[in-house]
């Protein structure tokens, strides 16, 4: 675990892609199976166990430290796992007490000679047992004149408390099988055994919050480099592999055959688009691209196949590869392959399908359609938020799949074909399928960027018609783009419609977390309304991104200089008609909300611009939001 922790620690600071690869590959080279396999699983997000809740971690530390010292420390560090990792008291279990002789005072007074070695005439202060070693639980001899010189000869003992610490494999296996009631005790034992970095990594792992800037793609590329293989090859066989990937490493090290994927309906890692900037168009040729609408739904992959026994399987995957078939029983029949018997015996009636597919994988958007019309994301969300999928829910929120790519068909994997060719096949495939629940996402005809700019500005008259409200923007895909997992450069672009924008006033600020823990970076903003006491600001949302680092420093300074009240980590910032800071806030949509005093909730709000030039009294009013809400046709949130 400590070696894995060391890797995570180093990766968390290393900005360079190639250097990250070097660090991961050298880890795979040094560390044996199965530890390295579980590390690969952790880095690719393939580990699944019930994560420990932050509340559990808080309880563990609360039982071991002074609450005031913990609160001050957490406020300073800003990250729960890190605070606990650093504060966790050194344990004295299994340690024989270290007797510390008290030297006479005279010996202490002689310590004035300059020393150029790590040697000291005084007995060292123990880092493991003895005085002062235990943070808040420590300290016995309070008035004895103990010398407290530490020496470098203690290097071996300074790290962890009770060696040996657990291996990564032990941690993963134990977590998978452990009962809920045993978790706190087990976690505490591990925390006792690990050093600071090990504790940090363990807590990140068990709370499922790694966030160290490593993509799954990068980790797989590092594994591929171990055997000088093409990362794409690893990507293709990946869906059939399971941790700890012993067969994968055997192949990479030339000790085994290439693993094959035996899943009849495997997930294929999805291809993603870059957000286009207006300046990008100068370097792009319209003739190289095909345009489609970007739908405001849920990206899914629908896969169908047959196993060795010719049994048909159909699955619906989320964009991250999670199997979400169970939530959409109303869509599955449309995906299921007809058994050969069904087709032949069905001659009396009009057969639904007169052809027979062996397997396919399609990429598309999940939407709710009522009377042939695409509903807004708000409506779709009401279907998604329900736990039980009832017949009523399926009737009220009829699910639909709008497709835009074909990744495989009876001819096998199509991902290496150019997009234009896949699109032609897709059109034929959908026509043949002829299912009312599945249709084709249309292309937008265009010859130049002006046409597409106009289409994006007014989707309704550019072909989206009644569905225009569900159009989030435009997708631009290179005709010759092969289907690559991840976000390859220059292949697919997304060009969103202008988001909603309002001017709001900064009301409260809170300290951020992680690298922003020393800045006030979480902002609550409000708009004007006519309340009981006349004109007043009512909070309408919270945002903690959208600004540049430079702007963060400016806002932070503003907050510190204009604080009217402090409540723990929250500062009230001056917000009056002529005094305060106006924030231009962009957001994706609005919903009615009973949880917010204002009655509205924003989707995806972020700080678009700082309006130092604008006095707060000129900020927007709640009525403006109400109007937007009406225009959106937003419905009450569940």
Interface with other proteins in residues 24-43 (CB under 8 A): 26
* C-beta of residue 274 within 8 angstroms of C-beta of residue 493: yes
CB of 237: closest distance to other proteins in angstroms?
A: 29
Q: Is 146 in the site for other proteins (CB under 8 A)?
A: yes
Q: Closest CB to other proteins among 116 and 278?
A: 116
Binding of other proteins at residue 482 (CB under 8 A)?
no
Q: Checking DSSP bridges between strand 520-531 and strand 500-511, what pairing results, if any?
A: antiparallel
Count of residues interacting with other proteins (CB under 8 A): 73
Residue 165 lies near other proteins (rule: CB under 8 A): no
99 binds other proteins (CB under 8 A): no
Task: Please give the C-alpha separations between residue 152 and each of 96, 118, 126, 163, in angstroms, as whole numbers.
Answer: 21, 6, 11, 19
Of 145-153, 222-230, 331-339, 357-365: span binding other proteins (CB under 8 A): 145-153
Stretch of 255-263, 278-286, 383-391, 511-519 lying at the interface with other proteins (CB under 8 A) = 511-519
Q: Are 472 and 497 in contact (CB under 8 A)?
A: yes
Q: Is the CB of residue 502 less than 8 Å from the CB of residue 594?
A: no
**From the candidates 294, 387, 392, 515, which is the catalytic residue?**
294
Q: Is residue 60 within the footprint of other proteins (CB under 8 A)?
A: no
> Contacting other proteins (CB under 8 A), which of 516, 542, 609, 617?
516
Q: Judged by CB, which is closer to other proteins: 30, or 396?
A: 30
Instruction: State yes or no: is 294 an active-site residue.
Output: yes
**HSE-CB for 522 with a 13 A CA cutoff:** 14
As measured in angstroms, the least distance from the Cβ of 519 to other proteins is 7
Task: Name which of residues 554 to 573 contact other proteins (CB under 8 A).
Answer: 556-557, 560
Select the residue interacting with other proteins from 48, 149, 564, 579 (CB under 8 A).
149
Q: Which is nearer to other proteins, 478 or 571 (CB)?
A: 571
Q: Residue 200 or residue 523: which is nearer to other proteins going by CB?
A: 200
Task: Please report how close the Cβ of residue 160 comes to other proteins at its closest, in angstroms.
Answer: 11
Kindly state whether residue 117 participates in binding other proteins, applying the rule CB under 8 A.
yes
86 is a contact residue toward other proteins (CB under 8 A): yes
Output 103 or 463, the one with its CB closest to other proteins.
103
**Min. distance of Cβ 147 from other proteins in angstroms?**
6
Query: Which two tokens mark 182?
Result: 């045993």
Question: Which member of 2, 44, 491, 517 binds other proteins (CB under 8 A)?
Answer: 517
DSSP string, 240-277: G--TT-HHHHHHHTTSSPPP----SS---PPB--EEP-
2 binds other proteins (CB under 8 A): no
Q: How far apart are CA 528 and CA 16, in angstroms?
A: 46
Q: Which is nearer to other proteins, 140 or 242 (CB)?
A: 140
Q: Distance (Å, rounded) from C-alpha 621 to C-alpha 536?
A: 10
Which of positions 185-244 make contact with other proteins (CB under 8 A)?
196
Among residues 38, 39, 41, 65, the one that binds other proteins under rule CB under 8 A: 65
| Farthest CA pair distance, the chain | 110
Taking the C-alpha atoms of residue 169 and residue 38, their distance in angstroms, rounded to an integer, is 7
Binding to other proteins by residue 320, rule CB under 8 A?
Answer: no
Integer Cα distance of 469 and 471 in angstroms: 5
Give which of 488, 486, 500, 466 is closest to 627, Cα–Cα. 500
| Burial of residue 458, with CB atoms counted within 10 A of its CB: 0-12 exposed, 13-18 middle, 19 or more buried | exposed
Closest CB 582 distance from other proteins, rounded Å:
23
The CA distance from 411 to 427, in Å, is 16
Q: Does 83 bind other proteins (CB under 8 A)?
A: yes
Tokens describing residue 370: 């009522």
> What would the DSSP string read from start to end of 441-481?
PPEE--SSHHHHHHHHH-GGGGTTGGGGGGEEEEEEEETT-
The smaller minimum CB distance to other proteins, of residues 122 and 332, is found at 122
The values of phi and psi at residue 557, to 5°, are: -65, -45
Binding of residue 514 to other proteins (CB under 8 A): yes
Binding of other proteins by 16 (CB under 8 A): yes
Residue 91 in the binding site for other proteins (CB under 8 A) = no
Is 122 a binding residue for other proteins by CB under 8 A? The answer is yes
User: From the CB of residue 350, how many other CB atoms can be counted at a distance below 10 Å?
Assistant: 7
Q: Return the residue of 48, 53, 59, 111 that touches other proteins, per CB under 8 A.
A: 111
In whole angstroms, give the CA distance from residue 304 to residue 315.
6
Based on the shown chain and the rule CB under 8 A, indicate whether residue 127 belongs to the binding site for other proteins: yes
Catalytic center residues? 294
């Amino acid at each position: 675990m400590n070696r894995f922790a060391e890797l995570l620690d180093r990766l968390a600071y290393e900005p360079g892609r190639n250097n990250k690869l070097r660090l991961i590959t050298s880890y795979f080279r040094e560390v044996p199976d199965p530890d390295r396999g579980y590390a690969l699983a952790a880095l690719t997000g393939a580990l699944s166990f019930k994560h420990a809740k932050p509340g559990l971690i808080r309880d563990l530390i609360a039982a071991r430290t002074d609450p005031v010292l913990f609160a001050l420390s957490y406020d300073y560090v800003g990250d729960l796992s890190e605070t606990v990792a650093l504060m966790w008291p050194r344990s004295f279990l299994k340690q024989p007490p270290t007797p510390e002789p008290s030297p006479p005072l005279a010996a202490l007074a002689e310590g004035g000679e300059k020393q150029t070695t790590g040697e000291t005439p005084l007995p060292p202060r123990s880092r493991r047992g003895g005085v002062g070693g235990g943070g808040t639980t420590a300290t016995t001899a309070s008035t004895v004149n103990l010398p407290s010189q530490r020496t470098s000869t203690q290097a071996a003992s300074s790290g962890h408390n009770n060696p040996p610490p657990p291996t990564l494999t032990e941690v993963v296996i134990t977590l998978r099988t452990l009962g809920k009631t045993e978790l706190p005790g087990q976690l505490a034992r591990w925390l006792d055994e690990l050093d600071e970095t090990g504790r940090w990594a363990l807590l990140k792992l068990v709370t499922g919050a790694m966030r160290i800037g490593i993509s799954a793609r990068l980790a797989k590329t590092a594994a591929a480099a171990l055997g000088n293989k093409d990362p794409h090859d690893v990507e293709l066989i990946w869906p059939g592999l399971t941790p700890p990937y012993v067969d994968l490493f055997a192949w990479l090290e030339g000790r085994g055959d290439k693993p094959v994927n035996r899943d009849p309906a495997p997930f294929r890692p999805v291809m993603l688009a870059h957000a286009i900037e207006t300046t990008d168009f100068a370097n792009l040729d319209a003739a190289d691209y095909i345009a489609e609408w970007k739908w405001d739904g849920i990206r899914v992959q629908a896969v169908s196949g047959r196993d060795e026994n010719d049994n048909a399987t159909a699955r619906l995957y989320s964009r991250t590869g999670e199997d979400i078939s169970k939530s959409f029983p109303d869509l599955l029949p449309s995906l299921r392959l007809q058994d050969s018997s069904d087709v032949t015996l069905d001659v009396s009636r009009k057969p639904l399908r007169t052809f027979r597919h062996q397997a396919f994988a399609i990429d598309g958007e999940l939407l709710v359609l009522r009377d042939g019309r695409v509903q807004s994301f708000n409506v779709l969300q009401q279907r998604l938020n329900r736990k039980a999928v009832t017949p009523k829910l399926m009737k009220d929120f009829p699910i639909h799949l709008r497709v835009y790519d074909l990744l495989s068909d009876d001819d096998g994997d199509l991902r290496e074909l150019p997009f234009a060719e896949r699109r032609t096949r897709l059109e034929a495939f959908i026509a043949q399928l002829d299912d009312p629940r599945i249709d084709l996402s249309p292309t937008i005809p265009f010859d130049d960027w002006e046409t597409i700019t106009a289409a994006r500005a007014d989707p309704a008259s550019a072909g989206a018609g009644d569905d225009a409200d569900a159009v989030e923007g435009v997708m631009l895909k290179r005709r010759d783009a092969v289907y690559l997992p991840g976000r390859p450069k220059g292949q697919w672009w997304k060009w969103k419609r202008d988001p909603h924008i309002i001017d709001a006033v900064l009301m409260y600020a809170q300290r951020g977390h992680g690298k922003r823990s020393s800045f006030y970076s979480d902002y609550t903003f409000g708009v004007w309304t006519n309340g009981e006491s006349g004109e007043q600001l009512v909070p309408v949302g919270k945002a903690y991104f959208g600004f540049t680092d430079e702007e963060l420093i400016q806002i932070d300074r503003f907050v510190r200089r204009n604080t009217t009240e402090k409540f723990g980590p929250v500062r009230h910032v001056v917000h009056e008609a002529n005094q305060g800071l106006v924030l231009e806030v962009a957001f994706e949509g609005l919903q009615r909300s009973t949880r917010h005093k204002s009655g509205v909730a924003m989707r995806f709000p972020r700080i678009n611009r700082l309006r130092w030039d604008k006095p707060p009294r000129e900020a927007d009013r709640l009525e403006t939001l109400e109007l937007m809400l009406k225009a959106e046709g937003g419905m009450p949130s569940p």
